Structure 1
Amino acid sequence: MIPKKKRPFPATGKGLFHRFLSALDDASVPGQHPALHVDDIVAERLQVLTCPAAASAAAADQQKRSFPVKLAEAVRQAGERDMPTRWFFCFFERILDKFSDLTINVSEGERKTALHHKVTSPKKSILIYNGIKETKREITPDHRSFIVGTTARLEPQKDPWTFFYIAKDIVSRFENVKFVYVGDGSMRNEIEAEINKHNLQGRIILTGFQKNPLDFVQTFNIYLITSLYEGMPYSVLEALNFGLPLVATNVIGNNEVVENGYNGFLFEKKK
């Protein structure tokens, strides 16, 4: 038992971090985050624990008390968010960095941003790009139509309204083009209402959540991503794996994968 004065966080602080976990990740349940499953970690004899920055505080509190494990923190684009959210996330990241042995960034742009906002130090920061397993394209696109698609949450960060406005303009001029948005989220109802308002059902399709989104990606002719900020999106790597040309916002992550005019095109994000 570590004396109270040496504890990284007061015991009463866990409630705050549980709420913080939930705010960052809709899938997390207070008190049930994997980072808190100490017994499982000990049983597996893990030596390095990697977790999102939000989980790092709770994980650090547990690991410093209970078992000798190195903690690697994965930074989540804190510096790319709008104010005052940016200030809040950067502030939390700086605190959590003090309890981490290493900070992992998944793109060079993300690393530079973290250093610029003093979220971490150059000595603790390393770059490990996201990667995917190479897979073959097993589904042939239907050449009777031309499909522009994306896989993303219907949430503000992904800017689905820009996807809608691009789709609305293109389908009004080309009869054989369809736009497909694979994913679900809090903005689905409002965008679906706008699709119905303009009688664009069948031309702009919201599939909702799908267990096998890559089955849809293989039917696309172009992959469109309209995110306001990213780290290194797996969806772009998956689309590139299937040989799809990319049309992407010129943001961190996207602009390290898309070579403008070669494997796709970049455009400026919504202001």
Structure 2
Amino acid sequence: MKSNKKKILLLDNGEEWGGGTNSMLELLKRINRENFSITCCFYNNYFRGNGESLDMALSSLKIPVLFIPKRKKPQWVKIIQEFFRIALFFSKNLKIFFISYVNMQWKILPNAKKISSLLILGKYDILYMNNQPSTNIEGYIAAKKLNVAVVQHCRIQPSLNKKLVKMINENCDMIIAVSHSVNVILQKHGVDEQRCIVIPNAIDTHQSLPDRFVVRMNLKISPKTFIFGTIGSLIARKSHHHILQALGKFKKINSSSNWKFIIVGTGPERQSLQDIAFRENLHQHVIFTGFQNNALDYLSTFDIFILASSKEGLPRVILEAMLVNTSVIGSNVTGTAELITHNVNGLLFEYGNIAQLTKYLTRLYNNAELRMKFTRAAGQHVRKHYVIENYVSGVESIFFQVYKQDK
């Protein structure tokens, strides 16, 4: 007897454990196994802070996982791409076109062929892609001539061009935007409105909240010490350097204040950030913890959480900070501005405006009553609008909607 379960191949080409990974796992924990059978396909078996790998996390959920081996870029590709970078210095568009063409030939098309074979051999009904369109091109190509529904989860402000939008409109059955602002960007670039739906990121609002003093005790920080904090990959997009620069100014204004700044995360910008902390004379105040699996423990320890990113989708970390009653300050960018209503449940500063960020750090540092007002409003907001059950049921409804029954 044929199973009525919809077979889904989940494709994710991420390289590190982040908010998108956690959102994916929250979905897989809760998805109805009687209706859906999911297999995951990844390029990288990355790790999180406690040594747990991606395949270990999926194994604990009894989710099968496949890996497409990541190919090392051949020397000929490096030479050709470098040639185009130099030879086409006069035209950015031509340079991008030819470098992308080479990338398509050696990487994207071979991966598309492997994904297509997996879809055929596994007799999958749906290809569900967990990143954003520009990083999932091989999935669109793989499913193009197959009777397989395609669902794209767009988890960050997308990078789009006319060719990619055409590919989406021709080959994608539904694209899930994690925020209304991401949805606006998709449609502004020409993605068909009927293919777009907003299903906001969400968190488990019923979970027990951590003790605010556990991390302080582990780090030997006095209960009287004020803690600024941020959590995120140490990459350029997260703009942690803006926070350090603002805290450098904050220190000059509040020279006798007792505070620490905790940075939770790992990534290629760590040495640069440590250098900035030293130049700003903050090395006695700043603590780099590396990747930590227990993000909520750290968020609950912070008095103020800051997210200074240049772009986001709908950052789970802000939802989590709001849940544990920590005041939030965020850059006024896609996603973040959808969660923070300025002067109601937090503060928004214009991206890169160090003076404004410094002003807000000082304002909240000196006003416990205002922090309490913001956290009260933020907690209510999260529990009303961003519960995990709505997120899961929303994604499930899309799977039912796109399922092609004439296979």
Which band: TM-score by shorter chain? 0.7 to 0.9
Letter of the 1:137 counterpart: L
Q: How many Å apart are 1:212 and its aligned residue?
A: 2.4
Aligned to 2:301, what secondary structure does the other structure show? coil
Question: In structure 2, what is the Cα distance between the partners aligned to 1:144 and 1:46?
Answer: 56
Aligned-partner residue type, residue 130 of structure 2:
C
Aligned length: 238
Match of 1:61 among 141, 162, 166: 141
CA contact (8 A) 2:178 2:198 kept: yes
Measured after TM superposition, the shift of residue 196 of structure 1 is: 2.9
Aligned to 1:123: 194
SS of 2:224's equivalent? coil
Distance in structure 2 (CA, Å) of the matches to 1:92 and 1:207: 42
**Bigger Rg, which one:** 2
Match of 1:222 in 2: 304
Q: Which residue of 2 aligns with 1:250?
A: 332
Q: Distance in 1 between matches of 2:267 and 2:279?
A: 20
Write out aligned runs for 1:20-31 (5 A): 25-27=14-16, 28-29=43-44, 31=68
Q: Against the structure 1 CA distance between its residues 40 and 171, is the aligned structure 2 distance closer, same or farther, given a 3 Å change threshold? A: farther
CA–CA separation in structure 2 for the residues paired with 1:201 and 1:55:
37
Structure 1 unaligned blocks of 5 or more: 1-20, 79-85
State how far apart, in whole Å, the 2-side matches of 1:38 and 1:216 are: 43
Are 1:136 and 2:208 counterparts? yes
2:249 corresponds, among 158, 169, 180, to: 169
Q: Deviation at 1:199?
A: 4.3
Query: CA, structure 1 residues 179+100, in 2 after alignment: closer, same or farther (shift >3 Å)?
Result: same
For 2:126 and 2:263, the matched residues in 1 are separated by 40
Give 1:45 shift.
Answer: 5.4
Which residue of 2 is the match for residue 83 of structure 1?
none
What's the counterpart of residue 81 of structure 2? none
Q: Which amino acid aligns with 2:257?
A: E
Q: How far apart are residue 48 of structure 1 and its match?
A: 5.7
Could you tell me how far apart the structure 2 residues matched to 1:62 and 1:177 are?
A: 53
Do structure 1's residue 147 and structure 2's residue 247 form an aligned pair? no
Equivalent residues of 1:228, 1:251 under 8 A apart: yes
- What percent of counterpart residues are identical? 24
Residues 37 and 191 (structure 1), Cα distance of their counterparts in 2 relative to 1, 3 Å cut: farther
Superposed counterparts of 1:92-111, under 5 Å: 93-97=164-168, 98-111=170-183
* Structure 1 range deviating more: 141-150 or 57-66: 57-66
Query: Partners of 1:148 and 1:37 in 2: how far apart?
Result: 47
What per-residue deviation string (whole Å, max 9, x for no partner) do you get for residues 119-169 of structure 1? x11111111100111223222245311111111112121111111112222
Per the normalisation by structure 2, the TM-score is 0.52
Q: CA RMSD in A?
A: 2.9
Alpha-carbon shift at residue 239 of structure 1 (Å): 0.7
Q: Does 1:90 align with 2:170?
A: no
In structure 2, the CA distance between the partners of 1:109 and 1:41, relative to structure 1 (3 Å rule), is farther
Pair 1:51-2:130 in alignment:
yes
Deviations 1:50-79 (A, max 9, x none): 43224543223333456x43211123413x
Contact 2:230 2:305 in 1 (8 A): yes
Counterpart CA distance in 2 for 1:139 and 1:100 is 44
Partner residue of 1:266 out of 327, 348, 353: 348
Alpha-carbon shift at residue 93 of structure 1 (Å)? 3.5
Say if 2:300 and 2:325, in contact at 8 Å, map to a contact too: no
Q: How much has 1:109 moved relative to structure 2?
A: 1.0
- Deviation of the 1:234 alpha carbon: 0.9
* Residue number in structure 2 paired with 1:240: 322
Task: State the match for 2:150 in structure 1.
Answer: 71
- Looking at secondary structure, tell me which structure has more helix per residue: 2
1:152–1:183 Cα contact (<8 Å) kept: yes
Question: Do the aligned partners of 2:241 and 2:276 also contact (CA within 8 Å) in 1?
Answer: no
Mind listing any 5+ residue stretches in structure 2 that lack a counterpart?
Answer: 1-11, 17-42, 45-66, 71-110, 217-222, 354-407
State the SS of the aligned residue for 2:302: coil
SS at match of 2:283: coil
Secondary structure (helix, strand or coil) at the match of 1:218 reads: helix
| SS at structure 1 position matched to 2:271 | helix
